[in-house]
């Protein structure tokens, strides 16, 4: 359950710091980090793994913040648009961004056993995808770069 680049770390601190950064970012960019949105981000940060929209919704519902699917999807739309979270297409799930702030094109290492996710930093025009796009005259607006496999822990203990 605890994974960041597959290493344990201090969750409480990372949640608090990132929420503060999000508050500051929204203030500066005239975005509204409403209670639902802020709580959704907090939930994703606390889990620190990919969470389905309905999983998120279940937690929001326990807090009395909404019960219908659009509540979760709207919060996720906001968070992903603002760059506070990303969608993992290979899992139809969402995760808090590990590299707060700037516009970026994340790459993910996703453990299919324990569901932990590591986020690597890239730019959209790097790597083989960027090469191929330039060669083809293709204009990239978004990239999906994900590797599914086993994290170091789960390679050692496959039956966990």
Residue list 53-112, contact with DNA (CB under 7 A): 53-54, 65-71, 73-75, 78, 87, 92-93
Q: 77, 38, 45: which is closest to 60 by C-alpha?
A: 38
Binding map of its own copies across residues 37-56, x = CB under 8 A, - = no contact: --------------------
Q: Which residue, 12 or 141, has its beta carbon nearer to DNA?
A: 141
| 89 belongs to the binding site for its own copies (CB under 8 A) | yes
Query: Kind of pairing, strands 117-120 and 93-96?
Result: unpaired
- Shortest separation between residue 96's beta carbon and its own copies, angstroms: 18
Pick between residue 25 and residue 73 the one whose CB is nearest to DNA.
73
Helix (H, G, I), strand (E, B) or coil at 96: strand
Among positions 99-158, residues that touch its own copies (CB under 8 A) are: 107, 109, 111-112, 118, 120, 122, 124, 126-129, 132-133, 136-152, 155
- Structure token digits, residue 146: 């994900």
**CB nearer DNA, residue 14 or residue 58:** 58
- Which among 99, 3, 107, 113 is positioned nearest to 48, based on CA atoms? 3
Nearest to 112 by CA among 57, 44, 158: 158
Sign of the dihedral through C-alpha 12, 3, 147, 91: negative
Distances (CA, A) of 20 to 25, 26, 100: 9, 10, 11
Nearest distance from C-beta of residue 148 to its own copies, angstroms = 5
52 binding DNA? (CB under 7 A): yes
Residue placing its CB nearer to its own copies in the complex, 27 or 120? 120
Instruction: From the list its own copies, DNA, none, pick the one residue 71 interacts with, judged by a Cβ distance below 5 to 8 Å according to partner type.
Output: DNA
């Amino acid at each position: 359950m605890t994974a960041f680049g597959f290493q344990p770390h201090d969750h409480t601190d990372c949640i608090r710091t990132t929420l503060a950064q999000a508050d500051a970012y929204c203030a500066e960019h005239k975005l509204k980090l409403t209670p639902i949105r802020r709580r959704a981000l907090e939930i994703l940060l606390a889990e620190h793994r990919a969470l389905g929209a309905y999983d998120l919704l279940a937690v929001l519902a326990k807090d009395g913040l909404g019960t219908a699917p659009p509540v979760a999807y709207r919060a996720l739309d906001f968070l992903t648009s603002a760059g506070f979270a990303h969608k993992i297409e290979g899992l139809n799930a969402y995760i808090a961004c590990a590299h707060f702030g700037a516009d970026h094109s994340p790459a993910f290492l996703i453990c299919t056993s324990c569901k932990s996710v590591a986020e690597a930093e890239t730019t959209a025009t790097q790597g083989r995808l960027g090469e191929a796009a330039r060669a083809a005259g293709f204009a990239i607006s978004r990239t999906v770069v994900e590797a599914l496999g086993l994290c170091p822990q789960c390679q050692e203990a496959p039956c966990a």
